[in-house]
Amino acid sequence: MPLLFSPSIRAFFIFVFMCKETAPISQEAKQLRYDKAYLRMATTWAELSHCTRKQVGALIVQNGMIISDGYNGTPAGFPNCCEDDNGDTHWYVLHAEANAILKVAQSTNNCQAATLYLTLSPCKECSKLILQAGITRVVYIDEYKDITGLHFLKEAGVAIERIADPFSQK
């Protein structure tokens, strides 16, 4: 005599069977998926910048939570114009990662063991801030013209990873 199951129990068994057929995702593949998602968010955040030469975005993620964000721009209270009439960047413009780190400094949080996601790799000056803030991993899309900051961070033991195309499905 065949066993008859209700439609809901039958659906449950089909679901369980299908889940067993799906290969589990590796930790590396899962991390890459999240890294790309955070970089896409940083790219969107960069669009908030008023700078015309470069628009850079940053996110700081700690324990799977976004704890800060930033984009390059002028300090609070200054006009939102990053370049002078010759197209040169004003000396007082803050980089995206500096803005994100400073936001954390103003809060009750910290950057210990956090990951920094950037649309452009950090300069020398910002690399010092990254190290001192306790950030242990930096993931970026494009390389800044001077990669001395990356070398400094690598030498200091900060994990560095470039994902050139966070919009690809691979």
Active site residues: 97
Q: Alpha carbon 30 to chain centroid distance? A: 15
**Nearest alpha carbon to residue 116 among 82, 152, 145, 153:** 153
CB 96 within 8 A of CB 58: yes
Beta bridge partner(s), residue 69: 59
